[in-house]
Structure 1
Amino acid sequence: MSNVQTGFGPFIAVYLTAQAWTELEIGLALSVGAFVTMVMQVPAGALVDATPNKRLAAAAALLAIAISALLLALWPETLPVMVSEVLHGFASCVLGPSIAAISLALVGREHLGERLGRNARYAAVGSGVAAGLLGAAGAWLSGASVFWLTALLCAPSLVALATIRRADLHPPEPQEREAGAMRGLGTLLRDRGVLVFALCCGLFTLSNAAMLPLAGTQVTRNAGDEANLIIAACIIAPQLIMALIAPGVGRLAESRGRRIALLIGFAALPVRGLLLMLVEGPAWLILVQALDGISAAGLGVLLPLLAADLTRGTNRFNLCLGLFGLAVGIGGTLSTTLAGLAVEWFGAATAFAMLAGVGLLSVLAVLLAMPETRGRAAA
C-alpha cells in the first residue's frame, strides 16, 4: 500500500511543472485531492464497515489508484488530472480502513497493537524504497514513468492481498444492532473518548503538518542546490526511526497502556518544534527531523488501535477511523495556512514556536483528558 501511495506525493507537483502547469493550476489540482480526501473520510469508513468483504474493498481501492495513476501518465490535462485526484482521494479513504479492518480480522483485538506496529514498520520501509525507485525513474526515464511504475506496483499489492485466505480471518465479534451509519455516527459523537482523541489528532497535525515544509523553505534559501538532498534526508530519517520503533510502540501500548505510548509519540512534537527554531545546519536539521519518526510511530499505531478500543462490540471501527482521519485532515489543512501567516507577520522562529506550543497543547490533552482505553477493550 505504501509503495503505491508514494507516487502521489511531491512527484505530482514536479511532473505537472514539467508539463508547463502554473503554480496556481498545480495548487488547485492538489487542493481538490486534499479536499476530497478530507471530506470522504467518514463516508468511506461507513462504506467499509458496511462491506462484509474487506479484501474486496481494498482490491477495488487499489485498482482505482492504478487507474488514477494511468490518467496522470497518459493525459496530463486539466480534466483527467482533476478526475485522477478525486479518484485517488476517495480510494485512499477506502484503502486505509480496509487494511486496518483486515489486520483486525487477522489477529483479533488482543494482538492488534503489535500487528499495527508491524504494519507501520512495513509502511515506513515501503515508502522509503518506493521514493528511491520512483525518484530514480523520474530522473533517468521520464516524469510520466513515475505513474506508470505506481500503477505497476498495484499488481504485487493485489497478489499479496489475494494470498490472504478467508480461513485466516477471525469471525467478527458479536455486535450491537444499528439502524444505519448516521445513527452510528451520532453514537460516536457522544463518546467522550472519541471526541477527546479526535481533538488530540487535530492538535497533533495542526502542529506537525507545517514543520517540514517550513523547514524546507528555510533550507532552500540557505543551501541552494543541495536543498533537494537535505529534504530527501529529512523524509528518509523519520521513516528509518519509525521502522525501528513502531513494533515496540505497539507492544508498549498492549503491555503498559495506550496513554503512555501516546504521550511518548506526542511529546516528541513540541521538542522538535523548539529545536527547529534553534538549529541551522543541514546535519542538525536532519537529526531533529528524525524525531518525527517517534511522533509518526505513536500516531500511526495508536490511531487505529484506539478506534478498535472505542468501538469494541459494534460495527463502527472504520467509521471511527474516518472521524479521526477527518480531524487529522482539518488540522493539517489549517497548519500550513497558519504557519504561513505567522512567518509572513512575525518570522520563521515565531512560527516554529507557535507550532511547538500547539504540540504542547496536544500533549496536555492526552495527559489530562484522554481516558485509558486498554481496560475498556479488555472489558
Structure 2
Amino acid sequence: MGQPVGKMPPRIVSDRSLAALCVLNFFLADARDGLGPFLDAFLATRGWSSLSLGLIATLGGLIGLAATPLCGALVDGTRWKRALIAGPVVLVTAAALITLISPDTSIVWIGQIGTAVVGAVIGPALAGLTLGLVGEKLFSQQIARNEFWNHTGNVASLFAVYVIISLFGLTGMIWLMVATAFGALAAIAMIDPARIDHKVARGLESKTSAAEAGDKTSPSGFDVLLKSRGLILLALILLIFHFGNAPMSRLIAQQFAIELGTPFRTTAIITGIAQLSMVAVAVATPFLIRRIGLGTTLAIGLAALPIRGLIAGSFEGFWVVWPVQILDGVGAGLLGIVTPVAVERILKGSGRFNVGFASLMTVQGIGASLSNVVAGWLVSEGGYTLSHLVGGGVAVIALVVFVIYRNEIAPSAREVQADSR
C-alpha cells in the first residue's frame, strides 16, 4: 500500500478516493477500537470492579500514548499512510476477538495494552491522509465529513450489536467484528495512493504552490512544537477536558449495565444516543465555523461538559442518559472536528502537522487515561454521583483557560493567512 513516486494529479473533491475515505471512516467506527465501549460493561457483569477496569484503561492508555508522537513523526515522514491504518485494524480486531472468546485477566491486560499501542497510529495517519487528499482549504469540511461517517458507522454498529446479541449472542458479535474489519480494509484499498500529496499531508505547501511562492517545502525542526504557545495551551485545555469527560460515559454504562443486567444492549443504547448527537454535530460544525468562527465553536464544546457533569451527578433514573449523552455528542463531537483544524492553523507551513497533532493526542490522552483510575477511586469513595460532579467541575478550568488565551489557541483563517505572508 505504498505511494508511487510521480507527479501529483489535481485533487477533486467528488472522486472515488474521497468516497472510499468516507466508507473507511464508517467502518473504522467499529474496527479501530475493538470492543470499545462494550469492554467495561462486558467485564463489569463478570465481577470486575470499577477500580480494576480503571487501572486497565489507565495503564494501557499511557503505554499507547507514549508511542503516539513517534507514530505522528512516522506519518509525517512515510508515504505508506494507508498501510499505517490497515495494519492496526487487523491487530486491534484480533486482540478484541481473543478477549471476547477468553476474557482471562492476563488476556484482557495484554489485549488492551496491545490495542492502545497499535491503535495510536490510526488517528495521525487518518488526519494526514485526509489533509493530503483534500488540502488545507477543504480540510475542515472533510474532517467534519469524516466525523459524520464515523459517528454514522457507530450508530449502525450499535444497532447491529443490539440486534445480533439478541438473536445470536457472542457468536454474532464475533462475526460482526470480522465483517467491519474487512469493510475497513476494502475501503483502504480503494483509496488511490497517487492522489495523496505527502507534502500537504504534513502541513507544507504543495509543489505547485511552493513553486509560485518560492521554495517553502522544507519542514521545520521538532522544536517548533515547543515554541508554539497556541499548541501548548490547546494541549493543556484538551488534557483538562478529557480528564473530566473520558470516564463519564463508561461509568454510566457500568452503572446501568449492572442494574439492568444487559451489558451489550444497555451500552448500545447509551453510546448510541451520544453517537446520534455527534452525527448532528458533524453536520452543523462546518456551518458553525464559518458563521461564528473556530474559537466560539470550540468554546461551545468546552462548555457542554460542566453542564453534562452537573446533570449526571444530580439526577437518577435511566432517563438521565438522554441529556447527558446528547451533551457528550456536543462536547466531544465539536472538539473532535475543531482540534485538527486548530492544529493545522497553528502549525501551518511548519511541515510538522502530523507529529503536532499526535503530540496533542498524547497530552489529551494522558488526561483521559489518568482520569480512569481517579474516577474509579471516586466511585469507590462516594459513588457515581461524586465522580460525575468532579469531572464536570474540572472542565470549568479548561473553559476559563480558553477564554483567556482564545486568539492563540484558535486563530482565525485570516490571521493565519496574514502570518504566512
RMSD: 3.1
- Give the secondary-structure state (helix, strand or coil) at the position aligned to 1:176: coil
Share of identical aligned residues, percent? 26
1:324 to 360, 363, 382: 360
Q: Is 2:316 the partner of 1:280?
A: yes
Compute the displacement of 1:254 (Å). 4.5
List aligned pairs for 1:237-248, cutoff 5 A.
237-248=273-284
- Cα separation, 2, equivalents of 1:62 and 1:224: 32
In structure 1, the partner of 2:150 is 123
1:296 equivalent in structure 2:
332
Q: CA deviation at 1:145?
A: 4.8
SS in 1 for 2:217: coil
Q: C-alpha separation between the residues in 2 aligned to 1:225 and 1:17? A: 10
- 1 CA distance for matches of 2:327 and 2:116? 28
- Please name the residue that 1:311 is paired with: 347
Write the letter of the residue equivalent to 2:321: L
SS of residue in 2 equivalent to 1:110: coil
Match of 2:373 among 337, 340, 343: 337
Q: Deviations over 1:108-146 (max 9, x none)?
A: 111111111111111111112122324544454353553
Structure 1: 5+ residue runs without aligned partners? none
> Residue 53 of structure 1 aligns to a residue in which SS?
coil
CA distance in 1: counterparts of 2:255 and 2:100, whole angstroms = 32
Q: Does 1:176 align with 2:218?
A: yes
Distance 1:231 1:286, change over 3 A: farther
Does residue 203 (structure 1) correspond to residue 245 (structure 2)? The answer is: no
SS of 2:340 mapped into structure 1: helix
TM-score between the two structures when normalised by the length of structure 1: 0.85
1-side partners of 2:271 and 2:144: how far apart? 19
What's the counterpart of residue 270 of structure 2?
Answer: 234
Return closer, same or farther for 1:16/1:245 CA change in 2, 3 Å cut-off: closer
Equivalent residue for 1:55? 82
**2:281 touches 2:330 (CA, 8 Å); kept in 1?**
yes
Give the 3-state SS of the residue equivalent to 2:138 in structure 1.
Answer: helix
**Does 2:416 match 1:374?**
no
Deviation at 1:104, TM superposition (A): 0.7
Q: Which residue is 1:42 aligned to?
A: 69
CA contact (8 A) 2:161 2:268 kept: no
Question: 1:216/1:146 Cα in 2 relative to 1: closer, same or farther (>3 Å)?
Answer: closer
Partners of 1:72 and 1:147 within 8 A in 2: no
Q: Do the aligned partners of residues 33 and 131 (structure 1) sit closer, same or farther apart at CA in structure 2, a change above 3 Å counting?
A: farther
User: 1:196: how far off?
Assistant: 0.4
Is residue 420 of structure 2 the alignment partner of residue 355 of structure 1?
no
How much does 1:229 deviate?
A: 5.3
* Alignment gaps of 5+ in structure 2: 1-27, 200-204, 206-215
Q: Paired residue for 1:93?
A: 120
Partners of 2:111 and 2:253 lie apart in 1 by: 27
Contact 1:7 1:146 (8 Å CA) reproduced: no
Q: Compute the TM-score of the two structures, normalised by the length of structure 2.
A: 0.77
Cα distance in 2 for partners of 1:14, 1:339 equals 16
Q: State the AA in 1 paired with 2:193.
A: R
Deviation at 1:253, TM superposition (A): 2.3
Are 1:153 and 2:187 counterparts?
A: no
How many angstroms does 1:358 deviate by?
A: 1.2
Question: Separation in 2 of the partners of 1:49 and 1:266?
Answer: 29
Q: Secondary structure at the match of 1:314?
A: coil
In 1, are the aligned partners of 2:54 and 2:373 still within 8 Å (CA)?
no
Greater shift, 135-144 or 354-363, is seen at 135-144
Corresponding letter in the other structure for 2:226: L
Partner of 2:22: none
Q: Distance in 2 between matches of 1:374 and 1:118?
A: 21
Query: Residues 95 and 344 (structure 1 numbering): CA distance in 2 closer, same or farther, change over 3 Å?
Result: closer
Q: Contact conserved, 1:113 with 1:251, CA < 8 A, in 2? A: no
Match of 1:250 among 273, 281, 286: 286
Please report how far the alpha carbon of residue 230 of structure 1 lies from its aligned counterpart in structure 2 after TM superposition.
5.3
Q: Distance in 1 between matches of 2:268 and 2:159?
A: 10
- Are 1:269 and 2:305 matched, yes or no? yes
Which stretch shows the higher mean deviation, 39-48 or 125-134?
125-134
67-76 or 292-301: bigger deviation:
67-76
Distance 1:15 1:280 in 2: 22
Distance 1:316 1:69, change over 3 A: same
Aligned equivalents of 1:164, 1:373: Cα separation in 2: 32
The superposition leaves residues 228-281 of structure 1 with CA deviations (integer Å, 9 ceiling, x where unpaired) of: 755533211111111012132134224543211101111111111112232223
**What is the deviation of 1:219?**
4.3
Amino acid corresponding to residue 289 of structure 1 in structure 2: Q
